[in-house]
Chain A
Amino acid sequence: MTSTVTPDGRTIGDVLLEVKNITLRFGGVEAIKNISFDVREGEIRAIIGPNGAGKSSMLNVINGFYHPQEGEIFFHGRKRNAMKPSQIARQGIARTFQNIALFKGMNTLDNIMTGCFTHMKTSLLEQAIWWGRAEREEYVYREKVEHIIDFLEIQAIRKTPVGALPYGLQKRVELARALAAEPKLLLLDEPMAGMNVEEKEDMCRFILDVNAEFGTTTVLIEHDMGVVMDISDRVVVLDYGRKIGDGVPDEVRSNQEVIDAYLGVAHD
């Protein structure tokens, strides 16, 4: 209904995800305090904030790893009940992690193939016999995965055990694994942390290309302000578990509270 087109040519649609009044506590610590924001279809939404602000915790709430004490989450306009992370994955939410969480015992290809898990349907018995459907399904998804491998330019490391890959490539494989799930909503937790300028540029390009090619809605946590301002449509700013800003990059940049938080002005 309310679809707009951004200057970069992205089509932004309806609200896909809405978090409302989320509060998350660990014992006495309030990691997230009454936070609300929304994510619209097709957009790249950034979450920024100083260390410990509650950014990762927010993603964990969205994909069901943490259960907030208060608040509601709406996905596709429907209120979401408490669910296991695996069920939420089935609804089309995929993510990457701040500390790489690849499957160390598998090679690149298998890691990415695992990403297709929710889509593959053959039963245990069919798998055991590996005849007909099981085999066909494997090749169908292998082809999709090869497409992602080409897309992210990791053909050469297809059969390499992921543990042996350099950091930057591991991050890329993790992105590939999340993409293999063909998610509606992609959550990226600091995808560029610890990368050099060149790797960051590559990663930015991939994120933008993914968004352009598959229309994937993306929520992105990132510390590099340059990157955030460049590629995101709207930004949420967190500080000490509170939301202190929300809007298009320019708006956020000129928000006094955000500037204070980043310059480290003392809290009262």
Chain B
Amino acid sequence: MSADFLYAIEVLLNGLMAGVMYSLVALGFVLIFKASGVFNYAQGVMALFAALTLVGIMNGEVPFSHLINAMFGTQVHDFGWHVPALAAIGLTAVVMVFFAILVEKLILKHLIGQEPIILFMATIGLAYFMEGFGDMMWGADIKPLDVGLPKGGSIWIEENTAWLGGEGQRFFGFFIDKLDMSATLVAAILVIALTLFSQYTATGRALRAVADDHQAALSVGISLRAIWVITWSIAGFVALVAGIMWGSKSGVQFSLAFIALKALPVLMLGGFTSIPGAIVGGLIIGMGEKLFEFLAGPLIGGATENWFAYVLALIFLVFRPQGLFGERIIERV
């Protein structure tokens, strides 16, 4: 096989792994959307916030140290201890639940029955607030994150696929990052777990019932507010996982919020009420953008990942407004 072809396959594999992460974040969106009708723009910043909190806890940083120092002229920075990764992840999860409760209490409760677009804009406000809040709490510098996941290329895969190129080809085996592999694994497990959860548990069913009809759900005794807290907590965990994976790869920094935002076009592609749609959409976008960058990037200047997903979703939507798996909407008058 020719080297170019094999490199294209390598690109696709990497795209597939990125796609699984997109699917995971997109699932977070779908769950929130189904349960509360909110198209949550803040999902990306939630991932950033979760990762910032995780790093902060692990390093024993004092929250709001900049603010405290500014106000009282002190020089506090950290407690001088280190929290083990797993414990810190647990603590961060607690913070995300707390956050979900606050969102419900302070925002959602007051916006019941508003138009979806108003809710959407409110989540943009939320994203802004959280970005400022996260930076205020933990500082805005780029932070390395290491929770002990394996890193670097997998030698084993490289060595065992080198023969594919055959004689005389400049191909040395697939280069696949171990971190990407573990991220894919975790994401895939989570995707399956979430799908099972919403399909087969009582809470999951209640969640879907709420999505179908708020009033009806209320009348059979499902607590809307509890459901909202649960879904926002789940979205918080998903954000945490995404934050860990992407943060381990390139450090915890603001751009993380934008990577996570890729889940938006994923959703438009998949139809945002559909769990399989989120998964398939994520894979298509993950592979599509890597392949496009590989094939067309060099010709037109590169960095096409910035917009490819959005343009693809845009073009796709023009032809199929309900997305891949979304239900077709017939307007009634």
Q: How far is the CA of A26 from the CA of B330 in the complex (A)?
A: 9
Tell me which residues across on chain B come within 8 A of A101, comparing CB atoms: 333
Interface size, chain A (Cβ < 8 Å) = 8
State the majority secondary structure of interface residues on A.
Answer: loop
Chain A 84-107 per-residue mask, 1 if CB under 8 angstroms from chain B, else 0:
000000000000011101000000
Q: Are B333 and A56 in contact (CB under 8 A)?
A: yes
Nearest-neighbour CB distance to chain A for B118, whole angstroms, equals 13
**Chain A nearest Cβ from B213, distance in angstroms:** 18
Does A60 belong to the interface (CB within 8 Å)? yes
Chain A, range 51-104, C-beta contacts under 8 Å to B: 56, 60, 65, 97-99, 101
Is the CB–CB distance between A97 and B333 below 8 Å? yes
Identity of the chain B residue whose Cβ is nearest the Cβ of A65 in the assembled complex: B333
Number of A-B contacts (CB under 8 A): 8
Identity of the chain A residue whose Cβ is nearest the Cβ of B330 in the assembled complex: A26
Inter-subunit contact A60/B330 (CB<8 Å): no
For residues 306 through 331 of chain B, which have their beta carbon under 8 Å from a beta carbon of chain A? 330
Distance A99 CA – B330 CA, assembled complex (angstroms) = 17
Q: What distance in Å separates the Cβ of A170 from its nearest Cβ neighbour in chain B? A: 16
Which residues of chain A in 3-42 are interfacial with respect to chain B, using CB atoms and an 8 Å cutoff?
26
Report Cα–Cα, A101/B331, bound state, in Å: 13
Distance of A97 Cα from B333 Cα, bound (Å): 7
Q: Which residue of B lies closest to A189 (CB)?
A: B333
Instruction: Mark contacts of B187-214 with chain A using CB atoms, 8 A cut-off: 1 yes-contact digit, 0 otherwise.
Output: 0000000000000000000000000000
Q: What is the minimal beta-carbon distance from B152 to any residue of chain A, in angstroms? A: 55
Which residues does chain B contribute within 8 Å of A98, judged by CB atoms? 333
Contacts of A99 in B (CB 8 A): 333
Q: How far is the CB of B331 from chain A (nearest CB, A)?
A: 8
* CA gap between A143 and B273 in the complex, in Å: 49
8 A-B pairs in the complex with CB atoms less than 8 angstroms apart: A26-B330, A56-B333, A60-B333, A65-B333, A97-B333, A98-B333, A99-B333, A101-B333
A interface with B by C-beta (< 8 Å): 26, 56, 60, 65, 97-99, 101
- Other than the given A56-B333, A99-B333, 6 more pairs (CB < 8 A) read A26-B330, A60-B333, A65-B333, A97-B333, A98-B333, A101-B333
Taking beta carbons and an 8 Å cutoff, which residues of B are in contact with A? 330, 333
Closest A-B pairs by Cβ, 8 of them: A97-B333, A65-B333, A60-B333, A101-B333, A26-B330, A56-B333, A99-B333, A98-B333
